Amino acid sequence: MLSAALIVFREVLEAALIIGIVLTATRGVAGRARSIALGIAAGIGGACLVAYFADTLAQAAQGVGPELFNAGVLLVAVAMLAWHNLWMVQHGRALAKEMNQVGQAVSTGNRPVQVLAVVVALAVLREGAEVVLFMYGIAAAGTDTGTLFMGGLLGIVTGVTVGGALYIGLLRIPTRHLFAVTSGLLVLLAAGMAAQASAFLIQAGLLPAIKPVLWDTSAVLSEKSLFGQMLHTLVGYVDRPTGMQLLVYLFAVALIGGLTLAARTPGRIRTAGVFAVATLAVALLTLFTASPVHAGHKVYYPKVEQGETEIELRGHANYDKDPAIDNAQSYKIGVGHGFTDFWFTELYAEVKKDAGNSSYATEAYEWENLFQLTEPGKYWADMGINIEYSHARKSTDPNEWELIPIVQKQLGQQLITLNVPFVRETGNNAAKKWELEYAWQYKWLGNPALEFGFEGYGKLGDATHWSPSSMQKHQLGPSLFGKIKTDVRHAWKYQLGILFGLSASTPEKTLYGRLEYEF
Amino acid sequence: MKPTYLMLPTALMLALTAPVPAGLAEYRLVIKNHRFNPANLVIPAGQKIKLVIENLDPTAEEFESHQLNREKIVPANGKTSVFLGPLDPGTYPFFGEFNPKTATGNIIVK
């Protein structure tokens, strides 16, 4: 009901605003009320006609099977919503200006008053036709007619009220903010519809589920509960989603949201595209793939930038024939800041999924402190140290300290970095010994947006007593890196890599990726 | 206990932080009105140098070069130094991160 109300509210409000602008611009013109009323009536009539034909069309299409039909309607609605959001952002201002000009032209007698009726009729028709389409989308997602009707009614009443109040001047909300909020909601609504469409296509056997049940939160917040249902219709909440549903959802949010943002700020289309692709890449990586070797597939640089803030998402997934390590996944999300020119600190939450288990759980919280010890280029090599503390969420799991000396050497365009983590568990069930690991990276400094390199990671065992080679873990593989600047001091950084296991106890393949936003 | 495993990284670290030989050649860059001067700075190949960047503007700037792998804040009305090289002959562009349109330049290694 809420999704119907939201859409109708938004469309009615748009139409009301256009009418409001025309009314304002033609204040004192004789016969304007009649013309505008006529326009509104014609617009509504036209929209009803569209609705009627849409129904006939729908009847004809029922032949293809309900799943396919529903998915199709949903996807058309998603596309329309996306296009609509974009269009409003790009043309909203121009539209308001144009309406004003028409209004003024009528006021000054340059154009006949009947023009108003046509302008208003077209505006109402357009919004009305959209309402029809979106309603079909919602109906296809499984809302019954009664609730749909109630929602629509609620939307009309609130839309007319807010639109009217804005016109009279009772409400002084800047419409820009109002549209920004509803635009954001519509992006999530569209993404939810897209995910729902994918569920229909999975049912019809046309799409793989990837994972039948990615997580199960029905005990915490059932989709059937009142609040759950509200979230389901508004933002697409699903208590037992398939992998494909989440993938489609994330992709839709990234794409539609990114494009909407890009349209608002001209010249950011490329950022939006990169963002969507990167989200898709990370989402794919997470879903098709999986802890074993540390969550941290990251080679640290001995460099700190004062005043830089970073939001980071990284993850990896393992593949192996051995089900004991296959499809284990780990993700870290963190926020960090460079407080001085030698100290950068970041807080992370780590989410894990073990092999043979389908649920994700927050495993640990981590505090990372990166120190730059030398001025880059001053000595033969640059040095730094990273001190990390990881606090396990479950008291039965050990906590962990990591001391990571960092050495970096630049040779012309080649950059070689070595990290040597010393890891010690503390607390319950801790191993009570220092374990030695390594991580290295070779990178060719070329085009900042796309660079190529290699990375290797390994675990050698007890620092003073290395494990036999069959028990050591060694991984090696290629990586792509890049940094894309979007503005002064704003940049996206990414890395995508694959590692091949070189020893028996290492996963055959590990896919890993990292996405950072710096500002 | 096999002390050799610990000695190796320790020795490595001591070796890496060996002091810089005194008398490094110094070069100067001045930032004024969000521009670098000189915009093209020639330095010798195969030699480490110290680049002193002085900012005469009342706003901070950041000296940045991807090819040189350097990013360093230069405070308003202040100065900082960046170590470069040894480099192969070539042109290495740099720019001011906060004013990328005007603050541009090249380190030309000959």
Cα of A502 to nearest chain B Cα, Å: 22
Q: Are residues A100 and A132 in the same domain?
A: yes
Q: Are residues A268 and A298 in the same domain?
A: no
Given A214, A242, A273, the domain boundary residue is: A273
When CB atoms are compared, the residue of A415, A464, A489 closest to B98 is A489
ipTM of this model?
Answer: 0.71
Q: What is the largest CA-CA distance in chain B?
A: 62
- Which of the listed ranges A150-154, A357-361, B106-110 does the model predict with the highest average pLDDT? B106-110
Residue-range definition of the domain harbouring residue A140: 2-273
Cβ-based neighbour number of residue A124 at 10 Å: 26
| Alpha carbons B95 and A489: distance in angstroms, whole number | 12
Is A406 a residue whose pLDDT tops 90?
A: yes
| Residue A85 placed within a domain | yes
| Residue A284 placed within a domain | no
| Residue A278 placed within a domain | no
CATH of domain B21-109: 2.60.40.420
What is the helix (H) or strand (E) element at residue A130, kind and residue range? helix A114-140
| Alpha carbons A209 and A228: distance in angstroms, whole number | 22
What is the model's pLDDT at position A268? Answer: 54
State pLDDT tens for residues A29-77: 667 778 788 888 888 888 787 777 766 666 665 555 666 766 776 777 7
Q: Which strand ranges, in their side-by-side order, compose the sheet holding B79-84?
A: B35-37, B25-32, B49-55, B79-84
B interface test, pick of A342, A385, A409, A413 with most B CB neighbours within 10 Å: A413
| Alpha carbons A386 and B66: distance in angstroms, whole number | 23
Could you read off the pLDDT tens digit of each residue along chain B, which spans 110 residues? 344 455 555 555 555 444 445 578 899 999 999 999 999 999 999 888 999 999 999 888 889 988 888 888 888 888 888 888 788 898 999 999 888 889 999 999 99
For residue A412, give the CATH number of its domain. 2.40.160.40
Among the listed residues B57, B13, B15, the one whose alpha carbon sits nearest the alpha carbon of residue B36: B57
Is A253 a residue whose pLDDT tops 90?
A: no
Please check whether residue B22 touches A, CB under 8 A: no
Q: Which residues of chain A have a CB within 8 Å of the CB of B72?
A: 376
Q: How confident is the model at residue A91 (pLDDT cuts 50, 70, 90)?
A: low
Q: Say if residues A357 and A385 touch (Cβ distance below 8 Å).
A: no
**One-letter amino acid of B29:** L
- Alpha-helical runs (H) found in A169-217: 175-203
Say whether the peptide bond before residue B100 is cis (omega within 30 degrees of 0).
Answer: no
Cα of A449 to nearest chain B Cα, Å: 10
Say whether the peptide bond before residue A212 is cis (omega within 30 degrees of 0).
Answer: no
When CB atoms are compared, the residue of B6, B9, B84 closest to A377 is B84
A408-426 in b/e form (b: 16+ CB < 10 A) is bebeebebebbbbbbbbbe
Is A124 a residue whose pLDDT tops 70?
A: yes
State pLDDT tens for residues A8-28: 887 787 777 767 766 766 666
Q: Which residues of chain B have a CB within 8 Å of the CB of A376?
A: 69-70, 72, 82-83
Q: What is the largest CA-CA distance in chain A?
A: 96
Among the listed residues A470, A390, A473, A466, the one whose alpha carbon sits nearest the alpha carbon of residue A424: A390
Q: Are residues A129 and A73 in the same domain?
A: yes
Contact B66 A448 (CB under 8 A): yes
Query: Tokens at residue A212, please?
Result: 């039948």
Q: Which residues of chain B have a CB within 8 Å of the CB of A467?
A: none
- Lowest-confidence segment of A334-338, A359-363, A425-429 by average pLDDT: A359-363
State pLDDT tens for residues A289-314: 433 334 468 899 999 988 888 888 88
| Residue A283 placed within a domain | no
Partners of A368 in beta bridges:
A346, A388
| Residue A434 placed within a domain | yes
Please check whether residue B84 touches A, CB under 8 A: yes
Cβ-based neighbour number of residue B8 at 10 Å: 11
